[in-house]
Structure 1
């Protein structure tokens, strides 16, 4: 299949690298500015709050339930199906003027108007301190992942390629977070899982391209770095199209039909896949070329054997 889709002629991808790179820099700066001014709309997993799980006697009417949750103590409640259509989970934000038990009673009263036979299955409270700790640990998880990737790519390839890969990953994460900040989409643990998944997906695509670049540097001796990078990207383009296309089909299906529980996760994946695909070319590969990667950097280091000088002197 790869042979059928393989391009017969090398495409000059780096021809458009400068304007695309400028666009990426502008988007990154805009994302950082958005994060600094508007911040992130943290979910209850990070801000703390009360979680109420209920079971209705029949399929729950979420719209009617949301219309009943208008009291000041439950303002801003998030209502979602949890499992079956009869199971509902309600997330209540922290209110300084109202205690948790008051919010729970107001929620139960609102649910009883929709269904008199509703049952409360579980009530949990997550304190703001625990939520702040989750946010800190989530940020550290992304940072540690980037550092480990930098070490891995430096060991497997070369530091110029490693810098390109880490720059591409940071680019993908910042743009994804910028979208969530711009539209004030709720950022919870499922979204954090999506961001970490984007890091792995983007790295996988970059490693495939870098592996072919290293192989072509050793095989093709008369071409410059830009030509070799263009050749490598062209040769791996069939794989990129197939992988990205099939993944997008699944992610779009999750985004459209997956429900509110995984909507944030699907949004993070959708943004990350689109941004990560072009960043492997116009961020990772182009930055490596700008840093001066060449064939000499790809050659394995020769290790001199002990006694080699004496053997050379022997007749």
Structure 2
């Protein structure tokens, strides 16, 4: 842990770092490939909408020895081919969902299902969900998502600037597309729990992005008054400075969600935990990725098109070229500029160093001759 802390401190001070901005085209390509895969999976397989959205009936049976797979086949047979899902509840009971059933069809299916599972028909509890209610849930979810996006863009545009707001919006769409695509590929049922998970991951995704943006905003103050770093280089230093923090917060958030997904959903067979935990797990991972590899590089690209930033980049490159030429012409003399980045920054904005020749024959800070 101390070693990780030392690495984080060195990243924060800029002593070490990875060139995220310089290799941004690689990350753009990876994100485009993953997004295309998600869209293709969504188009080909589609979403497995739960009865809360499509309408249908939910049958809760008493304790039975029938397995979930057998119950699913028997439920589909009893419902005349309607799609059914089954899951185990506490005490050996079963929860069976059959989509597309109306009120007239539910009672015969209840009786047939009780006969198939060898349980009394009066002990099978039936709940009907109309498609209009599911449509209301979908409409409210879309409305909530739209309001959230608008508020996010307005806040980021006011707190930072519109380029950061646009980059954050693209990152959010990226995270949502990947999460929905994974849902389509895996085939998990989309329930209200899924909607809750999707809305939750938007906040987590924005958290990491705002942390990097805040660091970048502080580091880029009065950037045009210096000629040491370009905007892209300062953005890269901001990513490296917050990298360990982003990794730590993401891992801490993913661990309990992984417990919900693999233990609660996989071992215990809790369907609602599957719905919400898969959305959270995929969304958290995608959000941490997009805040580092997508959002901040996009801001660097947007800002790099500004005339002021382009002029700054030319000054920085010209100064470096002049420095290299001067070092090459000093007949092997070492460079007088200190190697530490922070010292170089101070040399740019602070008082110039006095020539070496003026200090000859002087013994101390007061300048008195020996």
TM-score bracket for this pair, using the shorter chain length? 0.7 to 0.9
Aligned pairs for 1:201-280 (under 5 A) are: 201-218=204-221, 221=226, 222-259=228-265, 260-280=271-291
* Contact map agreement 1:46 1:188 (CA 8 A) in 2: yes
Question: What TM-score do you get using the length of structure 1 for normalisation?
Answer: 0.81
Distance 1:88 1:37, change over 3 A: closer
* Contact map agreement 1:44 1:91 (CA 8 A) in 2: yes
**Residue equivalent to 2:48:** 41
Q: What is the rounded CA distance, in whole Å, between the counterparts of 1:163 and 1:258 in structure 2?
A: 37
Question: Could you list the per-position Cα deviations for residues 124-147 of structure 1 after superposition, in whole angstroms to 9, with x for gaps in the alignment?
Answer: 211112222222222232222112
Q: What is the rounded CA distance, in whole Å, between the counterparts of 1:54 and 1:97 in structure 2?
A: 18
Q: What is the rounded CA distance, in whole Å, between the counterparts of 1:118 and 1:5 in structure 2?
A: 65
Question: Could you list the per-position Cα deviations for residues 200-253 of structure 1 after superposition, in whole angstroms to 9, with x for gaps in the alignment?
Answer: 110111111111111111287532111111111111111111111122221221
**Residue equivalent to 1:291:** 302
For these two proteins, the number of residue pairs brought into alignment is 291
Question: What TM-score do you get using the length of structure 2 for normalisation?
Answer: 0.70
Question: Could you list the per-position Cα deviations for residues 1-40 of structure 1 after superposition, in whole angstroms to 9, with x for gaps in the alignment?
Answer: 7844515113211222112112323433443344345432
Q: What is the rounded CA distance, in whole Å, between the counterparts of 1:255 and 1:210 in structure 2?
A: 31
* Contact map agreement 1:217 1:228 (CA 8 A) in 2: yes
Q: What is the rounded CA distance, in whole Å, between the counterparts of 2:24 and 2:9 in structure 1?
A: 20
Question: Could you list the per-position Cα deviations for residues 99-149 of structure 1 after superposition, in whole angstroms to 9, with x for gaps in the alignment?
Answer: 1222222233333x2x569933x4221111222222222223222211211
Higher relative contact order (CA closer than 8 Å, sequence separation 6+): 1
How many Å apart are 1:258 and its aligned residue?
1.2
**Residue equivalent to 2:58:** 51
Query: Are 2:28 and 1:21 equivalent residues in the alignment?
Result: yes
* Contact map agreement 1:73 1:98 (CA 8 A) in 2: no
**Residue equivalent to 1:302:** none
3-state SS of 1:99 partner: helix
Query: Are 2:97 and 1:91 equivalent residues in the alignment?
Result: yes
Aligned pairs for 1:74-153 (under 5 A) are: 75-82=82-89, 84-95=90-101, 99-111=105-117, 113=118, 119-120=123-124, 122-153=125-156
Distance 1:95 1:54, change over 3 A: closer
3-state SS of 2:18 partner: coil
* Contact map agreement 1:60 1:85 (CA 8 A) in 2: no
Q: What is the rounded CA distance, in whole Å, between the counterparts of 1:102 and 1:20 in structure 2?
A: 56
**Residue equivalent to 1:165:** 168
Deviates most, 84-93 or 205-214: 84-93
* Contact map agreement 1:76 1:93 (CA 8 A) in 2: yes
Q: Which runs of 5+ in 2 are unaligned?
A: 11-15, 266-270, 310-370
**Residue equivalent to 2:358:** none
Distance 1:153 1:59, change over 3 A: farther
Aligned pairs for 1:65-80 (under 5 A) are: 65-66=71-72, 68-73=74-79, 75-80=82-87
* Contact map agreement 1:81 1:261 (CA 8 A) in 2: no
- Two-structure CA RMSD over aligned residues (Å): 2.9
Distance 1:118 1:143, change over 3 A: same
**Residue equivalent to 1:6:** 8
Distance 1:86 1:185, change over 3 A: closer
